[in-house]
Amino acid sequence: MLSSGSTVLVTGGGGFIGSHLAERLRNDGHKVRVLDNFATGSRENVRHLLDDIELIEGDMQSYERAHNAVRGCDVVFHQAALPSVPRSIQDPLTSNASNVIGTLNLLLAARDEGVDRFVFASSSSVYGANPQLPKVETMATLPISPYAVAKQAAEGYCRAFYEVYGLETVALRYFNVFGPRQDPLSQYAAVIPKFITSFLEGRQPVVFGDGEQSRDFTYIDNTVDANILAANAEGVAGRAFNIACGERISLNDLLSKLRELTGSSLSAQYLDPRPGDIPHSLADVTEARQSLGFSPQVDLLDGLARTVEYHREISPGPGDLAGTDSSEEIGISNSGR
């Protein structure tokens, strides 16, 4: 549980979600430690925090490094992962090693060091092929990608460590998180930053599928709030919660809203769907509201406007892109879970 001046560990603190969480915890007066190997995270994301936090560079697959990072911490926020459904399909072994073995190492370290609460970043992808909408925590999980299987396995370890060892764990199933600092350049980047930067830079976005697939997009501030609440809520150990806005939008409608916000008139190019992508996702957040006190404070349109403004400040204009590859392959990635 968090109290004034708690010592906390944020794994993956150099990543998109982790860096926002580390900043919030720093601002709230906690002693923040970050563990990251910077395989997918960025030092730039935490550069403004380095005077106030402890940074440990290393891999969570090393039990010794994980143990050293956890030592003395009251709460562990486990955000680190090797993200992306497509990446996991190409290399399931590495995805499993990072997302399952790495999580198990941290759970063992947290158990041995007497951590009060372990908050785990899971994913809506665990619902997989189950067509039921909205997604409810009690429904069957039918993961269809190695990434989703790994997240489900890690959730299972979290629940087992509570039941067997008494380590208080809470899993948060993120639904397509977006916002500032989300990298649009990776081939595994999430859809919103790629759409935005394509429009701002005068490049035609590419959509895998017909664009009618839909998602429950969640602005980063809502996700950070959920983590803080999960660290403090009573009677939630061993459980998993959906973290989202409880509303969905199709990619085609998303494109339309982003065209308006960016002032672009570009149309999208449509390619065949990708394996491992699910057609629709929508969260029921009733349990998170009732048990965590979660209520999304930033809606989709406000979040999109904030994110467009961020990318407008950092993106080059169309005239600055001569000689670059103008193709953008955009589907639905789990870089934002």
Residues carrying an active site annotation = 147
Distance from C-alpha of 127 to C-alpha of 135, rounded to nearest angstrom: 7
Distance from C-alpha of 143 to C-alpha of 154, rounded to nearest angstrom: 13
Distance from C-alpha of 162 to C-alpha of 24, rounded to nearest angstrom: 27
CA 25 to chain centre: 17
Q: Do the beta carbons of residue 62 and residue 105 sit within 8 Å?
A: yes
Task: Tell me the sheet residues that pair with 274.
Answer: none
Q: Do the beta carbons of residue 188 and residue 86 sit within 8 Å?
A: yes
Q: How many CB atoms lie within 10 A of CB 252?
A: 15
The candidate with the shortest Cα–Cα distance to 241, out of 230, 231, 251, is: 230
**Ordered DSSP codes for 18-34:** HHHHHHHHHHTT-EEEE
Q: What is the 3-state secondary structure (H, E, C) of 123-188?
A: EHHHHECCCCCCECCCCCCECCCHHHHHHHHHHHHHHHHHHHHCCCEEEEEECCEECCCCCCCCCC
Q: Do the beta carbons of residue 244 and residue 285 sit within 8 Å?
A: yes
3-state class (DSSP) for residue 225: helix
Q: Give the phi and the psi of residue 171 in degrees, each rounded to 5.
A: -105, 135
Q: Which two tokens stand for residue 336?
A: 């934002």
Distance from C-alpha of 133 to C-alpha of 281, rounded to nearest angstrom: 7
